[in-house]
Structure 1
Amino acid sequence: MPLFSILIPCYNIENDLPNAIESVLAQTCSNYEIILVNDGSTDNTFQVMKSYEHYERIKVVDNSPNKGLAATRNAGFKYLTGEYVLFLDGDDTYSPDLLLDIEQFLQRHPNLDIVSFGSGRFCDGKLISDFVHPEHHECVFNGHDFMKLHLKRKLKQHICSFAMKLSLLRKHELWFDEETPVGEDQEFQIKANFHCREIGYLGKMYFKYNVRDTSLMGEPFNRKRLTTLNVFERVYSYLRQRKADKAIIKNLINYSSIEYLSVLNKCIKQGAYEFIDDIRKTDRVVHLNGALGFDKFSLISLVLKTAYRISPSLFIAILKTKNLNRNASR
């Protein structure tokens, strides 16, 4: 049984996919398998996938017709045999020392349910933002402490920047919601972190997330973006049902409120005013009482939520005015 299973969903990425696969094949640790899952690609992606079939540690799965990212990842779950699973999108890459560093970290801390690590966002090969916390390098947290830091955005975690025990996924029946094209990864992460006893962190940039205009997140604002608003209602209920402690619930409320207001801001910024009423219907989280604190994130959450609560219409009008002024100054 390999130590690691790397699950790579593939959809219309014939030019980028070789870089993703080669970044795994270049690992200095060889104790892994790669699961490539085709999501009904209409270009030569599946042919590229099949060109790697001769590698003993690579499995190629065809999940046609196209069902979306969540369904593609879910379809790959039954092929995983490693002790730990990592997700890697087909247009992103890992640094060659990632798996070895995780393996050595696990040798020192064998009870870790998740190992999270640093990442960076790149556009045309240039770093545009990094999510690395060197002050926490090789730290071990209990699951709840890690969650609090993550929900306060003091410890960033991408869906492709952690390795989790496959047994944890199986035991708690964790899946990606296939009706949620945007935000399903955040739901999966929060649930996974919640069930962990110990989470380790490696504070180096091991994962490169490549921003593409053709990706889902690069699309103009559309109805798909609204599905993320349902994520936090489900996660809130999920944690309440499982008796999560109050600090986690209150930090989740802050986190969710900022995400809600961010969606509203993106909608207005892109002039998609036709979606405002739909967004307003899902604003319950903004009216819940979140965590109070003097950290930056808690204060920002408090200020924005209070402004929205006083007058949602005025809050939206101010965002519209800012957007119009921004466009006029260009």
Structure 2
Amino acid sequence: MQTCNVLLSIVIPAYNAGLFLAGTLDMLVSQGLENCEVIIINDGSTDNTEMICKAFSNKHSQISYISQNNHGVSAARNRGMELAKGKYVYFFDSDDSLSAGTLDFFRSVLARNLSIQMFGFGYEMRRNGGLIKKYISSKFDNQMLKSHILQESFFSKKFSCNICSCIYDRSFLKNHAIAFTQGVKIGEDVEFIIKALNEVDALYYSERVCFIYQLRDDSAMQGYKIYTLERMKSFELIRDAVLSLNIPDSRMEPRLNFFIANLYVSNLLAYLFSAGNKSKQIEALFILNKKYVYKCMKGKVINLMAIYLIRYIPLRFLFKIFKNY
């Protein structure tokens, strides 16, 4: 495929993805790969992932792969971004899916809006074929959202964004040195989105559900039922990304405070109700970071109720109650 013909590069990190990768690639091929390329980064897999990659790349000229030592999903996505030839890049996971006709829809939107820096769309979460939750923002449908509206909506939790529910202009990412932080197991995708939102001029949005996140009992996310130090590091990574934002509008400060406080409470509840032994080190970090709860004054009512409750309950008391949960 000639470089000039590539509109969209689909980057797929794959680690021991043999159980689902072939089905995912079959789905992409069935939707048509005209003006697209699929780049698979085999990140040190020990199963049959490389064999699947080789079989598909031999059969389809739009599919290529490289194998590397295991460096994690961030390094794999960054490598895919470096290899991409398309005007736009889309980060996709090896065990998820796209709704019927989505690649045609992507091509249609991107081909007629070549100045788009970011393109966002609806998505849904499913488990064993059943719908768990749908993430759409109907009031923004078919609109070009300016950066201030996008930031206000995202940080006040009125606009949902997943790493696989956005397509990025590759030059935009390169010019602003936006990449995934390596060495982090959790939260690197949210940090990436925050960095992009800090630089983007506008995002085109469609409420059409394109991406389907498949929640599986054996997926990587299911390992997070035990709250580890990695999850606390994830909170701190995202917190620092928000605190470092260069947004001159003073009206954004309450929304940023709400975002951090809401993230803190979500992590605290996940820790309290997690399986396994509790950690004095993690509890000390929660106590140290509780100051961010006191800065939150505005936000969605249901979230604020939890934030205010945590604000006035001593954490050591909570830790004692949930010690043997």
TM-score, with length taken from structure 2: 0.89
Is 1:268 the counterpart of 2:272? The answer is yes
Query: What is the DSSP-based 3-state SS (H/G/I as helix, E as strand, rest coil) of the residue aligned with 2:221?
Result: helix
Is 1:77 the counterpart of 2:81? The answer is yes
Q: In structure 1, what residue type is equivalent to 2:212?
A: K
Tell me which of 166, 169, 177 is aligned to 1:173. 177
Tell me the residue number matched to 1:281: 288
Is 1:49 the counterpart of 2:53? The answer is yes
User: 1:172-229: per-residue Cα shift (whole Å, max 9, x none)?
Assistant: 1111111321111111001112211121111121111111223332113222212211
Distance apart, 1:249 and its partner CA: 3.7
Query: What is the DSSP-based 3-state SS (H/G/I as helix, E as strand, rest coil) of the residue aligned with 2:83?
Result: coil
Native 8 Å contact 1:181 1:227 kept in 2: no
Q: In structure 2, what residue type is equivalent to 1:173?
A: A
Tell me which of 307, 317, 320 is aligned to 2:322. 320
TM-score, with length taken from structure 1: 0.87
5 Å matches for 1:293-308? 297=300, 299-308=301-310
Tell me the residue number matched to 2:241: 235
Q: In structure 2, what residue type is equivalent to 1:228?
A: S
5 Å matches for 1:1-330? 1=4, 2-28=6-32, 30-54=34-58, 55-64=60-69, 66-219=70-223, 220-221=225-226, 222-239=228-245, 242-271=246-275, 272-274=277-279, 275-289=282-296, 292=298, 297=300, 299-313=301-315, 316=318, 320=322
Distance apart, 1:320 and its partner CA: 3.3
Structure 1 residues 223 and 313, CA gap change in structure 2 (3 angstroms):
closer
Q: In structure 2, what residue type is equivalent to 1:303?
A: M
Separation in 1, partners of 2:203, 2:156: 16
Separation in 2, partners of 1:193, 1:254: 17
Separation in 2, partners of 1:189, 1:306: 27
Query: What is the DSSP-based 3-state SS (H/G/I as helix, E as strand, rest coil) of the residue aligned with 2:31?
Result: coil
Query: What is the DSSP-based 3-state SS (H/G/I as helix, E as strand, rest coil) of the residue aligned with 2:286?
Result: helix
Distance apart, 1:301 and its partner CA: 4.1
Query: What is the DSSP-based 3-state SS (H/G/I as helix, E as strand, rest coil) of the residue aligned with 1:141?
Result: strand
Separation in 2, partners of 1:311, 1:102: 48
Separation in 2, partners of 1:171, 1:19: 35
Separation in 2, partners of 1:143, 1:32: 28
Structure 1 residues 304 and 315, CA gap change in structure 2 (3 angstroms):
farther
Native 8 Å contact 1:116 1:202 kept in 2: yes
Native 8 Å contact 2:125 2:212 kept in 1: yes
Separation in 2, partners of 1:257, 1:80: 37
Tell me the residue number matched to 1:328: none
Structure 1 residues 153 and 289, CA gap change in structure 2 (3 angstroms):
closer
Query: What is the DSSP-based 3-state SS (H/G/I as helix, E as strand, rest coil) of the residue aligned with 1:160?
Result: helix
Query: What is the DSSP-based 3-state SS (H/G/I as helix, E as strand, rest coil) of the residue aligned with 1:127?
Result: strand
Distance apart, 1:23 and its partner CA: 2.3
Distance apart, 1:270 and its partner CA: 1.5
Instruction: Name stretches of at least 5 consecutive residues in structure 2 with no aligned partner.
Output: none
Separation in 1, partners of 2:31, 2:321: 47
Give the number of aligned pairs: 315
Structure 1 residues 142 and 270, CA gap change in structure 2 (3 angstroms):
same
Q: CA RMSD in A?
A: 2.3
Distance apart, 1:303 and its partner CA: 3.3
Separation in 1, partners of 2:222, 2:57: 31
Separation in 1, partners of 2:125, 2:320: 30
Native 8 Å contact 2:11 2:91 kept in 1: yes
Native 8 Å contact 2:137 2:207 kept in 1: yes
Instruction: Name stretches of at least 5 consecutive residues in structure 1 with no aligned partner.
Output: 325-330
User: 1:148-167: per-residue Cα shift (whole Å, max 9, x none)?
Assistant: 11222222111001111001
